Amino acid sequence: GAVVALVPAAGRGVRLGESVPKAFVPIGGSPMVRYAVEGLIASGAVDRIIVMVPAEFVESAVALLPPSDSVHVVVGGAERIDSVRAGLAAAPEAAYYLVHDAARALTPPDLIARVVTELRAGHLAVVPALPVADTIKSVDAAGAVTGTPDRAGLRAIQTPQGFAAGLLRSAYLAEGVQATDDAGLVELLGAQVRTIPGDPLAFKITTPLDLVLADAVLDGASA
C-alpha cells in the first residue's frame, strides 16, 4: 500500500519571530521545508508527499521544492489540525500516512524509514520517542506545583508519526477535538500507539536558539 507523507508547513512561526513563515526560514542557506521534503525522499520509504503551506506561499513552495511528480503543495489551515485535514483530503489513496512537521527539518531519513517499517509490520500507530532530560512538573493556574510525574515513564515525542490510513482518517473525522499531536487524536479513539526510539536530530525548530543549533549542525555536516 502507498505511503503518503503529509508535511504541515503552514504555521506562522510566531515563536521564531522571523519575517517569513517558519517553514520558509533558511537553515544552512535553504528553507526548512526543503530539508524536510528531501529527508522524506531520501528515506526511500515514501511514495508521495503533500506539503501544506500558507495560501500566499503555494507558488514559492512549488518553486523551491524538488521538482517531482510525487511532491504536491496544497493550502494549509489556521491551526495545525486544519492543515493536516487539508493534507488528508489531498491524498485519499494512502494505505499509510506519515505526518511530519516541516519544522523537524533535520530528521534523519533512517528514522523515517524505521517508522514505515513498523507500520508495514502491522502496527497501526507509530511515534518516535526520546527520554526527557528535564524534570517535568504539573502546575495549577497560579503556577503552584501540583505534581512531579516519574520521569522514567515520560517521553518527548517527535515526528514523523505513522498511521494506518483508516485509523488516522477516523481520528480526523471527529469535529472539535483537540490534541497537540496526531497520535493524541488517535489515542482518543482508544487505539494503541507504539513508540520507537527517536533521534535528537529530529528536534523541532521552534525558537531562535533552535535556529542557531540547526545552522551549527549543518555547518558541521559540510565542514
Question: Which residues of the chain form contacts with Mg ion (CB under 5 A)?
Answer: 11
Instruction: Give me the 187-206 binding string for ligand CTP, x by CB under 6 A, dash otherwise.
Output: -----------------x-x
Q: Binders of ligand CTP among 50-69, rule CB under 6 A?
A: 52
Site size with ligand CTP, rule: CB under 6 A: 23
Cell digits of residue 27:
537553515
Choose one: 70-78, 145-153, 160-168, 189-197; the region binding ligand CTP (CB under 6 A): 70-78
The 3 state secondary structure assigned to the chain is CCEEEEEECCCCCCCCCCCCCHHHCEECCEEHHHHHHHHHHHHCCCCEEEEEECHHHHHHHHHHCCCCCCEEEEECCCCHHHHHHHHHHCCCCCCEEEECCCCCCCCCHHHHHHHHHHHHCCCCEEEEEEECCCCCCEECCCCCEEECCCHHHCEEECCCEEEEHHHHHHHHHCCCCCCCCHHHHHHHCCCCCEEEECCHHHCCCCCHHHHHHHHHHHHHHHC
Using the rule CB under 6 A, is 23 a contact of ligand CTP?
Answer: yes
Q: Which is nearer to Mg ion, 10 or 186 (CB)?
A: 10
- Give the span between the Cα atoms of 18 and 215, in whole angstroms: 15
Choose one: 10-18, 59-67, 172-180, 188-196; the region binding ligand CTP (CB under 6 A): 10-18
Q: Which is nearer to Mg ion, 11 or 160 (CB)?
A: 11
Closest approach of Mg ion to the CB of residue 1, in Å:
31
Q: Which is nearer to Mg ion, 23 or 164 (CB)?
A: 23
Q: Binders of ligand CTP among 82-101, rule CB under 6 A?
A: 83, 101
Q: Which is nearer to ligand CTP, 195 or 206 (CB)?
A: 206
Applying CB under 6 A, the residues found at the interface with ligand CTP are 8-16, 22-23, 52, 76-80, 83, 101-103, 204, 206
